[in-house]
Amino acid sequence: MLSKRLLISDYSEAGIDLFIRSVSLIFLLKLIFTYEINNQFHSLKLAHNCIFNGLFSDPNYYFAFCSVASVVSLFMLLMPGNLFVSFPFVISVLIFLSHSLNFGNGSDYLLGSFSASILIINFFRFWKSSFTRITGHVFIRLFLILFIIQLGFIYLYSGLDKLLTPEWRDGQAFYGILSNEFYLIPSLNFQYPRWLIIIISWVVILFETFFIFLIWVTSVRGFLLIIGTIFHLIIAFALSIPDLGLLMLGGYFLIIAIFPDDLASVRNKFSKTYKWLHF
């Protein structure tokens, strides 16, 4: 059962806004960088199984959609707490995903889920004044808790899958990723020590498997978020999967939002470490 303190403690509005802005920015970048390939996809009329196929089979209509969706994303960036912008934003995301050439990868499902979360959060924020102060506060915190649980299950599913895969346990799967130019930036493609590959493989397995449990432990939460940040920055930039890595990092803003004191604690630790190293 969720403790009363976890439900009524304060949360950070700034953290929620950062989450919404990060998702909006990632969607805007996806619109821009996938425009050409998706436009060709629609103009060749390969999207016959997609909803609204007739509308998007014409490149001019697809350009119009991307233009409108980009404007909506910009409004979402500027007004992250606006419920009335949230509706067209979520609709834009869902239409985009239903016509995406590569729909079905993890980042697309995550983008759809996160955009729906934006709508729900802003709904509770908008109607917060209609409830008693405590009730509205609890609704928002309860959703943030459920969001973290969802994030934890994403990790848990991935971690257990790796744990049950012999190639991950002996490092072969990670080695395969490092030697695949499709994933790894070519300049980083060189021979890594086998012991290092095995250690990194197990760090990933343990991090993903136990995240859902350790994220509630105050003493290790900051350390866990630091590991996760490094993990997803590597996914985003070293493994050439920017949308997936950055979306998961965006999700961390909601963890910071529900545990705002942890951010100050981590900042203080870094500040003390910096002073110790400096002097």
**Structure pTM?**
0.80
Q: What is the pLDDT of residues 202-219, one digit of tens each?
A: 999 999 999 999 999 888
| b/e sequence 74-95, b meaning 16+ C-beta within 10 Å | ebbbebbbbbebbebbbebbeb
Same domain, residue pair 190 and 270: yes
Cα angle 171, 149, 143 (rounded to 5 degrees) comes to 150
The residues near 226 (Cβ < 8 Å, ≥ 6 apart) are 266
Same domain, residue pair 170 and 267: yes
Which residues form the domain of 182? 153-279
Q: What is the pLDDT of residues 127-155, one digit of tens each?
A: 766 655 556 677 888 888 999 999 999 99
Asked if residue 74 is part of any domain, the answer here is yes
Same domain, residue pair 274 and 175: yes
Same domain, residue pair 85 and 196: no
Same domain, residue pair 203 and 274: yes
Asked if residue 1 is part of any domain, the answer here is no
Domain final position from 97, 130, 163:
130
Gap between the terminal Cα atoms of the chain: 47
Of all residues in the chain, the percent with pLDDT exceeding 70 is 69
Asked if residue 2 is part of any domain, the answer here is no
Same domain, residue pair 187 and 260: yes
Same domain, residue pair 218 and 116: no
| Section 104-122 average pLDDT | 86
Same domain, residue pair 229 and 191: yes
Q: What is the pLDDT of residues 77-93, one digit of tens each?
A: 999 989 999 999 999 99
Structural domains in the chain (count): 2
Same domain, residue pair 111 and 174: no
Of all residues in the chain, the percent with pLDDT exceeding 90 is 32
Same domain, residue pair 81 and 117: yes
Same domain, residue pair 124 and 157: no
